[in-house]
Amino acid sequence: MTALDTNVIVRYLVGDNAEQAEAARALLDGLTPSNPGFICREVVVEVAWVLERSYRFTRTRVAEALMDLTASDSLVVENSDDVAAAAYRYRQGGAGFSDLMILTAAERAGATPLYTFDRRLARMQGAILMESPGSTSS
């Protein structure tokens, strides 16, 4: 198994640097189910962030890219079920992808509700907004 970093995945998906994209494509195209690439959760979260912030991908495009990674039989995506669930929710709008990965992991662990000060995340089922003493809710 070969581990893949964020920048390799981004180059493979975006192809904006021709030389690096070609190298990334050659590496990923050479992976097989018996010799797969490994993508850890942290890389998945970074890929989502980079695609959205640096490349202005829509939520739908980000979610589709992540789902394509989890669907590949030549890639092992850590916690792929969590990634798929978070990508589905992310596509619907609301909280950021990293927050949805946290919520999904909490749900998988049976650790809900998830208490948060993040108002956007708190709108998601399974999360509850914490209020600071003296604050007013809006």
Q: Does position 119 have pLDDT exceeding 60, yes or no?
A: yes
Does the pLDDT value for residue 117 go beyond 90? yes
pLDDT at 138 over 60: no
pLDDT at 137 over 90: no
As a whole number, the mean pLDDT across the chain is 96
Give the separation between CA 78 and CA 49, rounded to whole angstroms. Answer: 17
Per-residue pLDDT for 135 more than 70?
no
What is the residue whose two structure tokens read 């949805």?
Answer: 100
pLDDT, mean of residues 47-74: 98
Torsion of CA 47, 48, 52, 58, to 10 degrees: 130
What is the predicted pLDDT for the residue at 132? Answer: 80
- Cα 38 from Cα 62, distance rounded (Å): 19
- pTM listed for this prediction: 0.90
